[in-house]
Structure 1
């Protein structure tokens, strides 16, 4: 059985972690009080006991200050049981603090002068934790405490310069603290506005620039099937490779802007790790060929609780970094159990990262650059996104690297799950021929994207009805592909609802967007509708279309 002392110590430690982790000002103040009051009591009891506790006032003071410790414990208990902002509770705590100090200073003579240090600390602490209003109230209480102590403390009255010093210090220090707080708040507001402006700019720029890149990608896919010669085909391949790099850049910008917005909330569900890894390998197989990298994955049947989209984002960024910084060397992805948890590990045999860079590689926009290094595409956001997304799901990200031998990145802390995982859509067998004669309603307000998408779908054998806005009459469509932003305050969600009403059935739908998937998913309110991020890879569009066909046939 645990000792009471160790139990109390453990409980206090947990409360302190909660207070600092959640920036709970009132709980933090209560914990500080539990530390100061015993020290306060020891000093007062020692001083009075050394004089023999000769007077009734001294005995009453000792009893009063000793009784304040259990009161402090009760205050903390109430704060833990009923967290929140209660003005009366804060004022009761402040009155208790200043009452105990006033009593000691009034009775103890010059020996109680050091108590003023605690009084000033408490005054500043209330202002720092609770704001300017409480700082003013605390300053008034401190001045009242000095005045009362002066009335009853004959030794203080005999030296007026002490009183003048105490009063001036009580006025000047809080006033200076308040001016610093105001300057800090103004600087913090400016920093928040600048951060918000940066996030909005990144999100808007990423969205606007995705449109033409998305159209170019689709037109390039059309050129592949245009019967070009070998030289022309190679040019198309080069264009496609460059577009793939630019698309990755904009995906990173959108990810970081979305994380800055603070609106990303993980949706944990049973996920088969092997399915996530297999999908990432499929997505980056072409990029691996361009980088002359053997991208391999070890089969894994473990099921964990995680957000599949966020976990995939983490793994995509890690693999993308490995392909960029370790070209020509093998990359291996696998998972294993570690201390009751599951970890996903990515290894490469590239040049490695010098030790002096290891602490900074997770910073935004930081790239490892050595003299004479070749240029590497990207802006240094990949690992920053990985760590921030991992933090949202309570995961740890570890990086180990040895110069000349390679790098390993580990996503650790995944919780094993016995529940059955939802089967990944990528696991459905693809049947390209099934698209012949598929009747597609395509809704897109950008003319270039509309033309490029319609041309590509027609090359795949689809019968396409292209619309720049939501149609007003129904037809015998098999599937609807819609952009999210359609103009006129209409979105893809409105389009899907309208189309389903027009034909009186739940037609399969696909949404293509340059916005954050979480935001679009909330607007849709339907987890069954696939969401594709612009610029969409033609192979990805074809895969999702085929999946919808197979699902419809069942």
Structure 2
């Protein structure tokens, strides 16, 4: 299965370490509160021992006991507040820091030389605040530490008797945090530089994949047109070879686009009740040609289960796993199926490939990590497949596991799908299908890339459509049509949605439309905001485009039949 296991880039490590900076800060604040609760018993027990050893008055011990009760209760309340309301709250942090330094000042002030070790905790807390919350908090904590030392010196006679000791403690309280401050600034600068480099890489990948998808998309459409031409056997074989190579390039750019989209943090889960069996059938159909090329028998065990999940993200996950199986287990059968586990649904992909050695298994989900054994033949891909799967599973709250045995094959399991009841669907009126569903369909095609425009027009006309092609928003022209197919970016600050809205206004009805894009499909869907408009990502397989057009036409016919009962 996945042998894509190579060295992580520096930016990848930084992204893995700081991928969720907000969550990281929330966790550190909670961990600080937990450490406080753990230390309290030892801290106050020692202070109580020091107070008794100094033969302090009963009145002081009573005051100390009341303060101890207050400190414990307030620390518990502070922990509960952090758990219930995580996040950054300035007043709460100010209270937390003051809370700790007042307690340490009180402790150092009452115990003469016996409480001198509390200084170690003071220095630890000071450095800890800086490491947890950043350089500004380190400066504030250092000032609080110096005030604590000054206050202790005023109240503790033993400290006043040894001014050089006090001076040493104050100098240490300044030098250590100052050195930490310099290191923190360097780390933050290095992190920001790495983050900027990573974002620049993501922007480059997104733009490069978009620009290269345009010609790939046009080539795929021209290939589809060639398939319908009267070619000889040799010529048809060459077309098949070109198509096979093109699909390899297409999968590579799909991985690059997926990873750049994940890096941008713009992917969000959109759950709905979906037919898992239908998703798996679509994936099998999409990979049937690739399986044939690889000599793989792609088997599917059907399921009637429905689950609440994002169908687009789940499809991307399973597609990546199946693609790896086809690459790394050529000539062997691959099985896709489902299993019920602890009330949840899991999807399993099994292959009978060569398997993966145990030492490589912990690294399989890392980016750009590839196993290259001596004598291995080159395999397409850059090692992003399972990394994309893992990151999508984190977004969706699913578990992904992999087990493999050399010589026996590999299994990847996507677990944790929430099973739901099959939704009730209303019966649709029967529609008599003509011999060719697309004959006479009037299509307005808007695309600013001339090669894509030409290839798409030729393909649509071969399917029987009547095509009006435009490179820009067709303002002032006759736009009477049955369907709009438009690119998303049309230039001159115009989008495909602007084009669709204009054509709908001109026709006075809600025409069906399709948006084609080389950008991230989810981002475009969010920008469009209309679930009734299909978003197709370049390069599009001709079969996908045709099935989408047919689905829209059938839906339009059903609406027409429903609106005119006499025609039923």
* TM-score above 0.5, yes or no: yes
- Per-residue deviation, 1:350: 0.8
Q: Which residue of 2 aligns with 1:358?
A: 361
In structure 2, what is the equivalent of residue 241 of structure 1?
A: 244
Alignment of 1:459-470 (within 5 A): 459-470=462-473
Assess, with a 3 A threshold, how the Cα gap between structure 1 residues 181 and 550 changes in structure 2: closer, same or farther: same
Match of 2:543 in 1: 539
Pairing partner for 1:442 from 420, 442, 445: 445
Query: Is residue 480 of structure 2 the alignment partner of residue 476 of structure 1?
Result: yes
1:284-304 Cα shifts (integer Å, max 9, x gaps) = 001111111110110101111
* 1:430 Cα offset (Å): 9.6
Matched, 1:32 2:35: yes
Counterpart position of 2:565: none
Count of residues paired in the alignment: 532
Query: Would the alpha carbon gap of residues 83 and 384 (structure 1) be closer, same or farther in structure 2, given more than 3 Å must change?
Result: closer
1:302 paired residue among 305, 317, 326: 305
Secondary structure of 1:161's aligned partner: helix
Q: Which whole-Å CA distance do the structure 1 matches of 2:175 and 2:527 have between them?
A: 54
Q: Confirm or deny: 8 A CA contact 2:26 2:88 kept in the other structure.
A: no
CA distance change for structure 1 residues 85 and 533 in 2, over 3 Å: closer, same or farther?
closer
Is residue 101 from structure 1 mapped to residue 104 from structure 2 by the alignment?
yes
Counterpart position of 1:486: 490
Which residue matches 1:16?
none
Are the aligned partners of 2:220 and 2:539 in contact in 1 as well (CA < 8 Å)?
yes
Q: Once structures 1 and 2 are overlaid, which stretch shifts more, 475-484 or 320-329?
A: 475-484
Change (3 A) 1:253 1:210: same
1:332 maps to which of 330, 335, 341: 335
Note the C-alpha offset of 1:224: 1.2
Q: Secondary structure at the match of 2:382?
A: coil
Contact persistence 1:479–1:507 (CA under 8 A): yes
The one-character-per-residue Cα deviations of 1:282-338 (angstroms, maximum 9, x if unpaired) are 100011111111101101011111000000000100011101111101011000100
Per the alignment, residue 118 of structure 1 pairs with 121
Query: How much has 1:202 moved relative to structure 2?
Result: 0.5
- Contact kept, 8 Å, 1:58 with 1:107, in 2: the verdict is no
- 1:45 equivalent among 42, 45, 48: 48
2:162 counterpart of 1:155: no
Q: Displacement, 1:148?
A: 1.9
2:348: which partner in 1? 345
Q: Output the aligned Cα RMSD.
A: 2.1
Matched, 1:386 2:385: no
- Return closer, same or farther for 1:20/1:517 CA change in 2, 3 Å cut-off: closer
| Equivalent position of 1:189 in the other structure | 192
Note the C-alpha offset of 1:355.
Answer: 1.5
1:196-254 superposed Cα distances (whole Å, 9 cap, x missing partner): 00100110000000111111111111111111111001001100111111111111110
1:506 positional shift: 1.0
Structure 1 range deviating more: 120-129 or 328-337: 120-129
CA distance in 1, matches of 2:87, 2:248: 49
Which residues of structure 2 form unaligned runs of 5+? 1-21, 559-568
Q: 1:226 aligns with which of 207, 223, 229?
A: 229
Q: CA deviation at 1:399?
A: 0.6
- Specify which of 279, 282, 286 is matched with residue 289 of structure 2: 286
Q: Deviations over 1:13-39 (max 9, x none)?
A: xxxxxx976634544433332222222
Secondary structure at the counterpart of residue 363 of structure 2: coil
Provide the residue aligned with 1:315 in structure 2.
318
- Is 1:520 aligned to 2:519, yes or no? no
Q: Does 1:410 align with 2:413?
A: yes
Distance 2:522 2:137 in 1: 40
Deviations 1:251-288 (A, max 9, x none): 11100010000010000111111011000001000111
Alignment match, 1:501: 505
SS at match of 1:23: helix
Q: Conserved in 1, the CA contact under 8 Å of 2:354 and 2:409?
A: yes
- Among 255, 264, 281, the alignment partner of 2:258 is 255
Q: 1 or 2 for the larger relative contact order (CA 8 Å, sep ≥6)? A: 2
Partner residue, 2:534? 530
Partner residue of 1:129?
132
Structure 1 unpaired stretches of 5+: 1-18
